[in-house]
A and B are shown apart, each in its own frame.
Chain A
């Protein structure tokens, strides 16, 4: 069972600890029958409310900002939370932290969403292609995925982002082209077992075309897991994006992102602790929301009898 020696990516590990088994071939999946944390309806409601709030802030954030996030008033530096008309205080240049946090949300969401969609597309197509039948395609894809997986992604991301340069597009492409392993592994594992099912065999005998089987019969079976992974992976990408920006190699300097705000706050820890707390709180809230959404989707699909445990 070499599955154990491989590194599951973060999203998969989180999904697993949430009691979701996504990989029927994984020997640890036998443990996941127990759901330590049974999801209740209230938790789904909380997840939903938080998620809707995040989406509204991300879409209409520009109208909800009270100040220009880039424009500071040097006379109103280091305003405490709620002081001088600043909802969450101001930073060392007198810029409004609330508006900057909202701008950061928009940046992070756009970045993580785009990268996640790219990940989803690459991972799913490779997973389906590898699952369909044995042969050189499967060998190459699995070998490639294994290689990519056995190297810490953060190291790759740091090197590539530094070399390619700052900015939205390089950042999204690095995360998008490099972090799809989790999708491929889940799709591959589930699709392989679906291809063994009788209804797929029957469809094949009945002369249904390869692509119709792939997209009409196999993909719908994988869909529930894809939603769950998408949510958890979204949280992981949010963390990765803000980490790279924090290191000063992700978002261009000066752009209001959570990572940049955290990096700026380090100089003023004694004077203005809220400069740290606002972006830190924003990241934590966004990540927890996405984790809750992932848990919620998993438990909803369990309730509908579509067990994610294959």
Chain B
């Protein structure tokens, strides 16, 4: 959390004055307060909901445990105390980043989650990269000139793709490329085997790129009608200069917001794709641990996701301020 507060404004501060830096910091602090609220709410809610779901002692001991064993486990983990006392001692531990040990493997829960973070970031990063690589040129092309048959066909295709859920694409891709053609593995994750990355990345990107393309296209089309484009055209700027130097940079502003949103949504939202491809990331771990009632891991995951989504949103905000001078001068 603190790394965001310290590092991020510096990167923006390279080209801004100290005054800007200060006004940039205030909304960030306000957001940090929001994060604290979020974590408090999520942790509290999960604590009580998960306790309703099942008895942790029963999960630990297994179904064939004798009452004596159960009592021993309860005493050992403090589960025999009143719920409210357990809650406060739990929250105290959470403040020290101690979520307890995984009921399944006895490893520290937070460590288990942290192992998954790079893999989820890896997948989400690749998906966003692919999305942007497709969407920005395609959207610029779509929005640059008025509609014609080709552009109509492409925007129709985008509309259809927007209606295809990512997990449906994933299953169809598996059917075609893994089962029929046997080009790519249908599941598994190897750090040094890019073949295993292809299908999950494409599945995620297939659901993300239509909306980004349409936003870029709409923004470019809007920019093309602005006065500064007319001026540039009157000054004899070439078509490509008009597009790439004047229209696209402005269009990317709106796109940046959506890219940030999409990235944040992927951090927890890629659970289905991760499960389909047995990609051992946070979403996969979430489903595993929820279904085995591994409470500490679920709690640590929710905590981690909240922080990561917050960080992504805060960074998007900063990038926005950095890119758009109008937001800087207006202050917060």
Contact = CB atoms under 8 A, between A and B. Distances in A.
A159 B290 contact: yes
B265 A163 contact: no
Interface in B122-148: 142-143, 147
Interface string A144-187: 00110011101100111011000000000000000000000000
A192 interface: no
A1 B38 CA distance: 20
Q: What are the 8 tightest A-B residue pairs by CB atom distance, in nearest-first order?
A: A152-B268, A288-B163, A17-B214, A163-B53, A287-B163, A155-B268, A5-B317, A34-B222
Interface residues of A, number: 58
Query: Which bracket fits the contact residues of B?
Result: 35 or more
B94 interface: no
A304 interface: no
A280 B168 contact: yes
A150 B163 contact: no
Interface in A16-37: 16-19, 28, 30-37
A266 B164 CA distance: 18
Nearest to B298: A159
A247 B159 CA distance: 26
B218 A34 contact: yes
A31 B163 contact: no
A276 B172 contact: yes
Interface in B23-63: 27, 31, 34, 37-38, 41-42, 46, 49-50, 52-53
A276 B167 CA distance: 12
Contacts of A151: 38, 42, 268, 302, 305-306, 309
A33 B226 CA distance: 12
23 contacts: A2-B332, A5-B31, A5-B317, A7-B261, A7-B309, A14-B211, A17-B218, A31-B219, A34-B143, A36-B143, A36-B214, A36-B217, A147-B34, A147-B37, A155-B286, A159-B49, A246-B272, A247-B287, A277-B172, A284-B164, A291-B162, A291-B163, A292-B159
A239 B49 CA distance: 25
B50 A163 contact: yes
A13 B159 contact: no
B275 interface: yes
Interface in A282-302: 283-284, 287-288, 291-292
Interface in B144-185: 147, 155, 159-160, 162-165, 167-168, 171-172, 174-175, 179-180
Nearest to A5: B317
A265 interface: yes
B222 A4 contact: no
A269 B218 contact: no
A160 B49 contact: yes
Given A4-B316, A159-B46, A283-B168, 19 more contacts: A1-B327, A5-B260, A13-B211, A19-B218, A31-B222, A32-B218, A34-B222, A35-B218, A36-B218, A147-B41, A150-B34, A152-B268, A158-B287, A243-B167, A246-B272, A247-B275, A262-B168, A269-B179, A284-B164
Contact of B27 (A2, A30, A262): A2
Interface string A254-285: 00000000100110011001001100100110
B309 A152 contact: yes
A8 interface: yes
Nearest to A2: B27
Interface string B255-291: 0011011001101110110010000000000110011
A292 B60 CA distance: 51
Contacts of B290: 158-159, 162-163
Interface of A: 1-2, 4-8, 13-14, 16-19, 28, 30-38, 143, 146-147, 150-152, 154-155, 158-160, 162-163, 235, 239, 242-243, 246-247, 249, 262, 265-266, 269-270, 273, 276-277, 280, 283-284, 287-288, 291-292
Interface of B: 27, 31, 34, 37-38, 41-42, 46, 49-50, 52-53, 142-143, 147, 155, 159-160, 162-165, 167-168, 171-172, 174-175, 179-180, 210-211, 214-215, 217-219, 221-222, 225, 254, 257-258, 260-261, 264-265, 267-269, 271-272, 275, 286-287, 290-291, 298, 301-302, 305-306, 309-310, 313-314, 316-317, 320, 327, 330, 332
A28 B142 contact: no
Nearest to B139: A36
Nearest to B40: A147
Contacts of A155: 268-269, 271, 286, 301-302, 305
B320 A4 contact: yes
Nearest to B224: A34
Central interface residue in B52, B159, B165, B298, by most chain A CB within 10 Å:
B165
Given A5-B31, A147-B37, A159-B49, A36 B265 contact: no
A217 B313 CA distance: 36
A239 B165 contact: yes
Central interface residue in A1, A36, A283, by most chain B CB within 10 Å:
A36
Given A34-B221, A151-B306, A28 B163 contact: no
A243 B272 contact: yes
Contacts of A154: 268-269, 271-272
Contacts of B219: 31
Contacts of A37: 155, 159, 214
Contacts of A36: 142-143, 155, 214, 217-218, 221
Given A150-B309, A151-B305, A243-B272, A284 B163 contact: yes
B49 A163 contact: yes
